[in-house]
Amino acid sequence: MTQTLSPDYIVLGSGVAGLRAALELAQGGRVAVLTKDRLDESNTEYAQGGVAVALSDDDEISLHFEDTLNAGAGLCDEQAVRVLVAEGPRYITELIAWGAQFDREGDALAFTQEAAHSRRRILHAHGDSTGREIVRALIAAAKRNANIQLVAHAATIGLVVENGRCCGVQFIDPNESLRRESRARAVVLATGGAGQLFAQTTNPSVATGDGMAMAYAAGAMMCDLEFVQFHPTALALPEAPRFLLSEALRGEGAILRNHDGQAFAKNYDERGELAPRDIVARAIVAEMERTGTRWMYLDLTHLDAAFLRERFPKIYDTCLRYGLDLTKDQLPVSPAVHYVMGGVRSDTHGRSTLPGLYVAGEVACTGVHGANRLASNSLLEGLVFGARAGAAALADALPLPSPAEAEAVEFDLADWRLDQRTKARVQELMWRNVGLIRRAEDLRRAVAECARLAAENVNERTRNFALLAKLMAEAALWRSESRGGHYREDFPQRDDAHWRIHSAQQLGQPIQALTQLSEPA
C-alpha cells in the first residue's frame, strides 16, 4: 500500500487537527495521512472534558472570546482567538452533521461548566469520552472519502526541504521496515504535543514532540515553548498511570481537600476550584508543601452517585480498577504536565515560517492559548485550525515537486526508537528543573544537561527529544517573570512592561522576542 504512496498532500498525525485538515485537503487532491501508531492513538482520543463552543442560548461568542483572553494571561493573539470562537460553532455543527454524537438533554445539546468559563459551554460525548467520539466521527468521514489514504504505524523521521521549501517527508514503511521518501505540494504537521518530555504527564506515550523537533531541524520557527500547562488533578496512586481527572469534575462541584479534610482552594484564589489551571495547580503544590504531603484529595462524595456514574463513566470505571469509587472515596490527586501552549509558529491560516509546511493543533503556536490554555479550547482549535491549514495549503497551490530520486533503503527500527535511558534522564530532569515552579539555577542545569544528552552518540530521534527539552528550558530561563503556565520562583510577578512578548527560537540563531504571532515574517 505505501509503495504506491503518491499524494498531492501529506498530513502527519491522525488526531482532530490532522483528520480535519485531511478532509479539507481532499477537496483538491489526493491526501496521505501518516501516523506513527494506531489511527485513533493521539492526545485527542484521551480528551475527556469536552469541547468549548458558544452554541447555547445563554452564551455569546464575545463571552467565549473574553474568557479565552483572560485565561491566556495577556499573551493571546487576539486575531487568532477571534477566529477560534467565531468559526467554532460552524465546525462543531459540521461535525454533528458528520455523525458525532454529543450528549443531549432531550433534543437539546447538553452543556457543562469548566474552570475559567463564564457560561456552561462545554459539549461532551458519552459523558467523559469526547475526544474519542470526535476521532471516531472524523475517521469515519475520512474512510468514506476516496481521496484520503490512512497509513498507520508509519513514523515520519524527517521533513524534506529543497530550495527553502518543505516538499515531502521521509518515513518508515510499516509493511517492510524500509526508509522511504514521499513528495507532495504541501505537508500539514499535526503531530500533537510533547508531554512525554516530563516524568509526570497525562499524555499518552506517543506525545514525544517529534513533529516540533522535525520542524525546528528543518528551519521553522518555534515560539512560546516555556508555557507548559500542568493539569491540577491527575490521579496520584503509585501503581496507577497519571490518569487525567477531568476539569469537568470540578465544574460539576468537586472540592479539593487536604489530608485534614479541609477545603483549601479558596485560600489561594477566590474562584477556588474554578480558577484557571495554573492557579489551581500551584495551590495544590503549595498545600502539599505546607502540609508535608505528596498529594491532595478531590472529593465528589457529596454529589449524586447515579449522576456521577452516568456523567463520568470512563473516569468512574478507571478509578474502580484501582480500588477507588469516586462516589464514595476521595481521590488522591497532584499536578502533571498536560499541554504545551508553544510550538511551531503559525499564522491564523496554519502557515509556518517554512514555505510548504502548515501546522495545526498542539504542535502549532497560533497564540490562541497565550500563556495558559482555557479548558476545552484545544479540541476546538484542532477543528478550526486544522480546516484552515488545509484550506490555506489548497489556496497556495504550490507546484507538485519532482518525484523522489532516492530508492527505499532498509531501516533498522533501533535507529529510530527513543533510547530509554536517555528518555528517562530527560524526563526526570525536566520534571525537577523545568516543572511547575522554576528557578534560574535549575533551568541552567537543565539546559546544560539536555545539550550534553543531545550531543551524545545516540540516534536522531533521541537527539531530537533531548534537543526539544533544551529549547524548552532555554525559553523558560529567558523569560524572567511569571505568567500563565510559566512560574519563576525567583521572578514571581507578572511584568507586562517588559515581558508582554513571545519567545522565538530558530535553528542557528539566539532566542528572540516577538510582539505578535499572527503573521509570520
DSSP lists the bridge partners of residue 409 as: 179
Please classify residue 84 by burial: count the beta carbons closer than 10 Å to its beta carbon, then call 0-12 exposed, 13-18 middle and 19+ buried.
buried
The conformation of residue 56, written as its DSSP 8-state character, comes to S
User: Distance between CA atoms of 242 and 333, rounded to whole angstroms?
Assistant: 9
Other Cβ atoms less than 10 A from the Cβ of 108: the count is 9
Output the nine-digit C-alpha cell for 494: 507578572
DSSP lists the bridge partners of residue 112 as: 122
Could you tell me the sign of the dihedral formed by the alpha carbons of 141, 144, 147, 152, in that order?
A: positive
User: Distance between CA atoms of 132 and 16, rounded to whole angstroms?
Assistant: 10
What torsion do the CA atoms of 395, 400, 401, 404 make, to the nearest 10 degrees? 130
User: Distance between CA atoms of 177 and 167, rounded to whole angstroms?
Assistant: 23
DSSP lists the bridge partners of residue 438 as: 488
Q: 155 with 36: CB under 8 angstroms?
A: yes
Q: 81 with 65: CB under 8 angstroms?
A: yes
- Active-site amino acid positions: 277
Which H/E stretch holds residue 167?
strand 165-172
Which H/E stretch holds residue 171?
strand 165-172
User: Distance between CA atoms of 400 and 335, rounded to whole angstroms?
Assistant: 47
How far is CA 55 from each of CA 59, 121, 135, 306, rounded to the nearest angstrom?
A: 7, 7, 21, 27
Phi, psi of 22 (to 5 degrees): -60, -40
Which H/E stretch holds residue 326?
none
Nearest to 338 by CA among 264, 239, 227: 227
Q: 191 with 44: CB under 8 angstroms?
A: no
